[in-house]
Amino acid sequence: MPALDRRQFLGTLSASGVFGLIGDPAPAAAQAPNPAAAPAPAPTDVTRTLARWALALRLDDVPAPVVKEARRTLLNWVGCALGGARHETVDRALAALTPFFGAARASVLGRTERADVLHAALLNGIASHVHDFDDTHLKTVIHPAGPVVSALLALAEQQPMRGRDFMTAMIAGIEAECRIGNAVYPAHYDRGWHITGTAGVFGAAIATGKALGLTERQMVWAIGIAATQPVGLREMFGSMTKSFHPGRAAQNGLTAALLAQRDFTSTEVGLE
């Protein structure tokens, strides 16, 4: 698959909304500059389009097969997190970070220890990915639930929410995460980025931002704050740090949403 042209991606999203199809770029010969043609202006509303879509999404709008797959991915994430909870990687992370925890309001799934919300997001993200059996978006090799569910579950323990609201926020986050991944894969991955972390931070920010009830402008800021916190290099594969990537993406995405909730500003064109 050829590398996807960034401007084409942005133009497609802007024209058709987040659910629009993202096409492959034209062949290189077709992209040769034409001196007589003025360059198309860069889109300026992609981030806002995504924010508006995520906030407007309701569970009743989601097709039944998608809801079924969302339930399956949540079940898969829980199984993977429980399966990895006692791994040496999680033991070492807890040993290093426990002295720095804040108020213990959230679970580390499968363990007796509790943590503050941000550290719980990190640790559950690590545990869910440490065996590498978590759900996979095959086109981009993103493991979408790790960043999104780890952040959302931690938030839900401090700010209880209805199951359907949790599910809707999760679907919004995973959809956005995979759409962004579609746009940059394979060039982004081939250059050495671990796309689960770099795209996952957006999914975590959007899911938790929706659960927090952000305004449209705040969600735009959350996406911008997420954009400045990419995490994950493929060079880390084979080490404990690989599973750190979805954990940190969960923690960073949740941080982005919490900051935006307090009107911590960012660029309003974070994706553009």
pLDDT in tens, 126-167: 999 999 999 999 999 999 999 999 999 999 999 999 999 999
Per the structure block, which two tokens stand in for 131? Answer: 């065996």
CA atoms within 13 A on the CB side of 138: 0
Where does the chain have alpha helices with state H?
Answer: 6-16, 46-56, 64-84, 88-97, 117-129, 145-158, 163-184, 187-190, 195-212, 216-227, 241-261
Q: What is the pLDDT of residues 77-90, one digit of tens each?
A: 999 999 999 999 99
Find the farthest-apart pair of alpha carbons in the chain and give their distance in angstroms, rounded: 68
Backbone angles phi, psi at 14, to 5 degrees: -60, -40
pLDDT value of residue 44: 77
> Per-residue confidence of the chain (272 residues) as pLDDT tens digits?
344 444 444 344 443 333 332 333 334 334 455 555 566 777 779 999 999 999 999 999 999 999 999 999 999 999 999 999 999 999 999 999 999 999 999 999 999 999 999 999 999 999 999 999 999 999 999 999 999 999 999 999 999 999 999 999 999 999 999 999 999 999 999 999 999 999 999 999 999 999 999 999 999 999 999 999 999 999 999 999 999 999 999 999 999 999 999 999 999 999 99
Do the Cβ atoms of 199 and 232 come closer than 8 Å? Answer: no
Confidence (pTM):
0.85
- C-alpha span between 224 and 268 (Å, rounded): 6
Do the Cβ atoms of 147 and 134 come closer than 8 Å? Answer: no
